[in-house]
Structure 1
Amino acid sequence: MSAPSVLTLSWEYPPVVEGGLARHVAGLSAALVRRGADVRVLTRGPQASALAAGADGVAVGRVARPAPPAGLEGFLAWVDDLGADLLAAGRRAAGERPPDVVHGHDWLVAAPAAALADELGVPFVTTVHATEHGRHNGWVQAEPQATIHAADVRMVERADAVLVCSAFMRRHVLEVFGPAEDDVVVVRNGLAPAAPVDPADVAALRARLVPDGRPLVLLAGRLVYEKGFQVALRALRRVRDAGGPDARLVVAGDGPHGAELRALATELELGDDAVFLGWSDDGTLPALYAAADVCLVPSLYEPFGLVALEAMRGGCAVVAAATGGLREVVADGTGIRVPPDDVRALAAALRRLLDDPGLRQRLAREGAAHAERFSWDDAADRALAVYGRLVRG
């Protein structure tokens, strides 16, 4: 068959970015277009906008929806309202040009994506980016975990194919939800072509963050408990107490765990050794990776580990927790892996890198070469194979 027409639903898409999901949808969609597919993405934004193709050829349309509120009841109502808006937008888009496949990303858009596929009589594909079961180590009996886990179950049961970002996630989905093995396919995250980073901008950023020239350690990502940033703060305290190098830890990100992390930094008396930058956009992150000496990725639960891959591509030595997809992303010789939620091990690895510039440089070189193997074009080929099988079937 010729390249299919794909109607994609996602609760985030650049420049509306909550986490790695938005980057995945954008990277995969652009690569599918490069392979000849017709891709239309329906998502949210501060204002509604009609479907219109961008420079990458992906047509993006938005429904007007503010950021989700705090609290389970309000959040679930917000998800329902978003779903209703996306279903209506999907019907309009399908009326103009019926898709061959409807592709939904995660449980927040699963209901409208599945309903649209049913109405049109076309396959429904879902990408499971993370699960509530995984985030909470299987403790999904109480609210709000029970409601979200139930949505995950319905989504996987209904989907004609389930895409996941790592071999770890494939094993997890098969074990927890029990779909047919052939229906779960690994479509790894890739990396978009690197934008040039001006060395002068990197030098200026480093001079601003560490004007005294001390080592710069980076944490990047959404501030949620499962990212393990609290482990990194405690590890930095341990390094300092043991007389290690006087490094500064810079936290680039925002999220619901931010207040607790700032309070912990105060409790640990880190002072100006820990700096919270807030959310950093995709234009700033490459310079941060290039400016940092070490990037810590201490996740407790991590389906893939896009920050580790981006940091490696940016030439930064990485210390990552040996959990989930990070064990695949940070391969032997490309970074240092430590047990998750282990302050002592993370501190020892950080101290080792801070004390050994030669090791940092070697891991940065090996990591950058390894990161180049992760391609959105490869991800698109895998997704196209799934679409083709379903459409032919």
Structure 2
Amino acid sequence: MNYRSDLILYADNTDFEFSAFPGLAADLGNSPRVALIGTYLPRRCGIATFTDEVARSLGALPSPPQVDIYALTEPDCALEYGAIAGRVSPHDRAAVRNLADQINASGADAVWIQHEFGIFGGPDGETVVDLAQALAAPLLVTFHTVLRQPSDNQRRIVRQLLARASRVMVMTRSGRELLIAEYGARPQQVVVIPHGAPDRPFIPSPASFADGSAAPQLMTFGLIGPGKGLETAIAALPAIRARYPDVRYRIVGMTHPTLLAREGETYRESLIAQARELGVEDNINWDNRFLETDDLLDQLQQCDVYLTPYPNLQQSTSGTLSFAVALGKAVVSTPYEHARELLGDGAGVLVPPGDAAAMANGVLALLDDPEFRQGVRQLAYQRGRETLWSVFGRRSLAMVKEAVSPAPYLPARLEAPGSRALWTLCDGTGMLQHGVLSVPDRTHGYCIDDNARALIAMHDGKHLPMAERRRWSVTFASFIQHAWNDGEQAFRNFMSYDRSWCEERGSEDSYGRTLWALGATAERALDDDLRLWGRMWFDRALRGFAAIDSPRALALAAQGAASILRTDPQHRGAQGLLERTGDMLTSLLAEYRRPSWPWFEAVLAYDNPRLPLAMILAGECLERSEWTRAGLDTLGWISQRQTGAQGQFRPVGSEGFGQPGVQLPFDQQPLEAQAMIEAAGAAWKVTRDCAWRTVANRAWQWFFGVNDRGVMIADLASGRCRDGVTPRGANLNCGAESVLALHASYSAMAAFAGSITDGVRGHNPGGLDDSAASGIVHGGTGLAAA
């Protein structure tokens, strides 16, 4: 495994052609299925109300998407949520992972997370990262707060979410600019959708308060805490009362539950004491409750001036401010980000934070001048038309559809990839490891892993020009030969571009992969001399391999041993290697097997199908039927583990390699699809069960967009293959491992198709029009019992 992570280039997943395909969100005119995650009613907080309104606004559209709501709850929460898809305590990391698994299994086309640092668990709510990492569907995140001066941990959390999100929603232009400038968000990634608001008629306020016929009504709503700046509004009341003795200031809202649990009503009592000292106690009405939306709107419509005296100018959004503006209320506010954008150009009055005199003057300017107040209100009402929930719903669905993976454009027939990308990576030394886009990257030089893979590709790649196969076979064989370190009795792996070796001994896996290549050469090389060379080096290298006991190294070498036995059934060394492999894998299976975990290890890693493939080969070559059965059973299990809810191939992502109990969906790599196709081919030869045709076909289609991001990994014209599928689309780099995986996968699929047509209706060299073989291109996506 030599996956390169230091330079990853991404593509937006909206640039690829698509057409209808069963099982994925193929037709973007159809409504997708959205998993919506956030706090939710009846929990009493602003984001819970927002999550509810999001679901309502989407549900009210002419062609509504299916919305599955997953509520974030507090530990031991006794709230009754009604008909929702699930609930989870975000403080429980295991539960958060299980929630991701539940959503992945649901077939959701997109996942939309409402983010605020305080609603997730861990320091700064970092369990949201655990959730995001484990989700397979395209991710959308609403940032309800974008901090200008975050802590290091807060910045890390936001950046990790940005690295995984297909689309990010903020409610202000300044929030978008901040995410791009300070957090490194991609401009095309961030969408501005203003906070939604209800649609109610404009109700005029009294023409004048000077004659005493009406008492001015001021109002503030929201969970009460020090961050609301209510001290400033109360301090402004004496000056307002001096002009309007009957003024009423309604402070509506319960104390924030976290503050209430920690300090009780101490903060509210301090505000009451402040009002008493200032002589305005009788001018304040306290409504200590959390209002439902309709009740809130009724009270908002009755007020004349709405106050938001928030001291924190980083406050990104305020739902009640959006409501007040949409109802055409006159607003006096501090200039936090949301207020600046909604109230600018005369739609409200902005005053400095903590300045009671300025707030009093702002309120009095509105109360004293009916024409000014009426103009402010009408401008606010017109601006509010742009933020109605109906508008919000349409914009949100458009954002979801932009993020949802488009359906793939599949080749109609099994077509061979071109060879240009292969030769581009080769020079007189061998095959270079990496590429920046499709340009070879000499910085990282060569490795025996890729040259061994390339040598096998020359033997099996019947779609490649014969002269090129002969020429490059010798180059790759020469690299392998030169890699042998006689003093260590082992192969080196990494070589720099100046042809100097970077180590004395390579990894055990690279040793096993080289034995595989040598065995394949002894069996299938185009030249008699090269076949003899392969047999000679297999025998020589096998001696140094005796002490290696890595399961994957043995599984890789077992493929070479099986090739040797097909040419020489009495080869004792190959027999011994297969016996050692079968015994070890059987022992590991017995050690780690659980009712729901019939596997060789406690973790999942890379190249997983190679382990059951080795069991199948060992069982068939040595006539050990119990090994064959174990290989088929474990291959069926890992195939099911690597199948998404919509039938697409979903290999274990490299981010989750080796993590106990964790299977993360990204980054997905071509090597995994190749391993599954080749293992399914071996299972087909043993069983002739058409389920394995489906398994292989599913993995082959992954290259052409039937994957979790709908991105084309393979380009048949050039033979290029991208380095993988990431949360943000395709990694556009084309390294040797990926390009070779495409060509090896094609060779395996072509052999698969030939064996099917030979076994069913006779050879069909023209392609796969034969109905018995057509599944290789368009087969079903469900795995039958294997």
Q: For 1:7, what is the secondary structure of its paired residue?
A: strand
Is the 8 Å Cα contact of residues 238 and 347 (structure 1) preserved in structure 2? yes
Aligned residues: 347
Counterpart of 1:13, as a letter, is Y
Is the 8 Å Cα contact of residues 198 and 323 (structure 2) preserved in structure 1? no
Q: Give the Å deviation of 1:324.
A: 0.3
Is the 8 Å Cα contact of residues 124 and 159 (structure 1) preserved in structure 2? yes
For 1:8 and 1:112, how far apart are their aligned partners in 2? 17
- The normalised TM-score by structure 2 is 0.40
Q: Give the Å deviation of 1:309.
A: 2.6
Q: Give the Å deviation of 1:114.
A: 5.3
Q: Give the Å deviation of 1:363.
A: 2.9
For 2:159 and 2:279, how far apart are their aligned partners in 1? 44
Q: Paired residue for 2:52, among 26, 30, 47?
A: 26
Q: Paired residue for 1:262, among 260, 272, 277?
A: 272
Q: For 1:223, what is the secondary structure of its paired residue?
A: coil
Q: Give the Å deviation of 1:111.
A: 5.9
Matches within 5 A, 1:140-155: 140=150, 150-155=156-161
Is the 8 Å Cα contact of residues 101 and 117 (structure 1) preserved in structure 2? no
Matches within 5 A, 1:117-128: 118-128=133-143
Q: Does 1:92 align with 2:93?
A: no
Is the 8 Å Cα contact of residues 328 and 384 (structure 2) preserved in structure 1? no
Q: Paired residue for 2:359, among 322, 325, 346?
A: 346
Q: Give the Å deviation of 1:6.
A: 1.0
Is the 8 Å Cα contact of residues 319 and 336 (structure 1) preserved in structure 2? yes
Question: Deviations for 1:328-348, whole angstroms, at most 9, x for unmatched residues?
Answer: 212423322223332222110
Q: Does 1:38 align with 2:66?
A: yes
Is the 8 Å Cα contact of residues 321 and 340 (structure 1) preserved in structure 2? yes
**2:368 — aligned with what?**
355
**1:182 — aligned with what?**
188
In structure 2, the CA distance between the partners of 1:4 and 1:324, relative to structure 1 (3 Å rule), is same
For 1:119 and 1:258, how far apart are their aligned partners in 2? 42
Q: State, as a whole percentage, how many aligned pairs show the same letter.
A: 23
Question: Deviations for 1:141-180, whole angstroms, at most 9, x for unmatched residues?
Answer: 5xxxx65555444433443332111112112222332222
Q: Paired residue for 1:17, among 44, 60, 80?
A: 44
Is the 8 Å Cα contact of residues 248 and 273 (structure 1) preserved in structure 2? yes
**1:69 — aligned with what?**
none
Matches within 5 A, 1:56-205: 60-63=84-87, 79-81=90-92, 84-85=94-95, 87-95=97-105, 97-106=106-115, 107=117, 108-109=119-120, 115=130, 118-131=133-146, 133-134=147-148, 138=149, 140=150, 150-194=156-200
Counterpart of 2:252, as a letter, is A
For 2:268 and 2:85, how far apart are their aligned partners in 1? 31
Q: Give the Å deviation of 1:36.
A: 2.6
For 2:81 and 2:282, how far apart are their aligned partners in 1? 46
Q: For 1:3, what is the secondary structure of its paired residue?
A: coil
For 1:180 and 1:115, how far apart are their aligned partners in 2? 22
Q: For 2:175, what is the secondary structure of its paired residue?
A: helix
Q: Give the Å deviation of 1:218.
A: 0.7
Is the 8 Å Cα contact of residues 37 and 72 (structure 2) preserved in structure 1? no
**1:286 — aligned with what?**
297
In structure 2, the CA distance between the partners of 1:185 and 1:334, relative to structure 1 (3 Å rule), is same
In structure 2, the CA distance between the partners of 1:61 and 1:17, relative to structure 1 (3 Å rule), is farther
**1:277 — aligned with what?**
287
Q: Does 1:296 align with 2:307?
A: yes
Counterpart of 1:42, as a letter, is Y
Counterpart of 2:91, as a letter, is D
Q: Give the Å deviation of 1:260.
A: 4.2
Q: For 1:325, what is the secondary structure of its paired residue?
A: helix
Q: Does 1:305 align with 2:318?
A: yes
Q: For 2:387, what is the secondary structure of its paired residue?
A: coil
In structure 2, the CA distance between the partners of 1:120 and 1:169, relative to structure 1 (3 Å rule), is closer
Shifted more, 327-336 versus 356-365: the winner is 356-365
Is the 8 Å Cα contact of residues 163 and 187 (structure 1) preserved in structure 2? yes
Q: Give the Å deviation of 1:380.
A: 3.4
For 2:104 and 2:68, how far apart are their aligned partners in 1? 10
Gaps of 5+ in 1: 53-59, 66-78, 203-211
Q: Give the Å deviation of 1:361.
A: 3.5
In structure 2, the CA distance between the partners of 1:267 and 1:150, relative to structure 1 (3 Å rule), is farther
For 2:131 and 2:226, how far apart are their aligned partners in 1? 34
**2:382 — aligned with what?**
369
For 1:161 and 1:226, how far apart are their aligned partners in 2? 30
Counterpart of 1:282, as a letter, is T
Question: Deviations for 1:191-249, whole angstroms, at most 9, x for unmatched residues?
Answer: 2344999x9xx9xxxxxxxxx95322111122233332222111113434xx3212121
Counterpart of 1:28, as a letter, is V
Shifted more, 331-340 versus 41-50: the winner is 41-50
Q: For 1:283, what is the secondary structure of its paired residue?
A: helix
Q: For 1:13, what is the secondary structure of its paired residue?
A: coil
Counterpart of 2:309, as a letter, is P
Is the 8 Å Cα contact of residues 102 and 116 (structure 1) preserved in structure 2? no
Counterpart of 1:251, as a letter, is I
For 2:361 and 2:79, how far apart are their aligned partners in 1? 50
Question: Deviations for 1:90-149, whole angstroms, at most 9, x for unmatched residues?
Answer: 533543x31111211114347666545544522222110014x35xxx2x55xxxx6555
Counterpart of 1:244, as a letter, is R
In structure 2, the CA distance between the partners of 1:373 and 1:117, relative to structure 1 (3 Å rule), is same
Counterpart of 2:379, as a letter, is E
Is the 8 Å Cα contact of residues 304 and 329 (structure 1) preserved in structure 2? no
**1:388 — aligned with what?**
401
For 1:311 and 1:267, how far apart are their aligned partners in 2? 30
For 2:366 and 2:201, how far apart are their aligned partners in 1? 27
RMSD: 3.3
For 2:155 and 2:243, how far apart are their aligned partners in 1? 43
For 1:260 and 1:159, how far apart are their aligned partners in 2? 43
**2:32 — aligned with what?**
4
Q: Paired residue for 1:327, among 340, 356, 377?
A: 340
Q: For 1:341, what is the secondary structure of its paired residue?
A: coil
For 1:162 and 1:373, how far apart are their aligned partners in 2? 20
Structure whose CA Rg is larger:
2
Matches within 5 A, 1:243-262: 243-246=242-245, 247-254=247-254, 255=256, 256=259, 258-262=268-272
Counterpart of 2:192, as a letter, is V
Is the 8 Å Cα contact of residues 219 and 251 (structure 1) preserved in structure 2? yes
For 1:380 and 1:248, how far apart are their aligned partners in 2? 36
**1:237 — aligned with what?**
238
**1:56 — aligned with what?**
none
For 1:221 and 1:230, how far apart are their aligned partners in 2? 15
For 1:179 and 1:370, how far apart are their aligned partners in 2? 28
In structure 2, the CA distance between the partners of 1:386 and 1:272, relative to structure 1 (3 Å rule), is same
Q: Give the Å deviation of 1:303.
A: 1.2
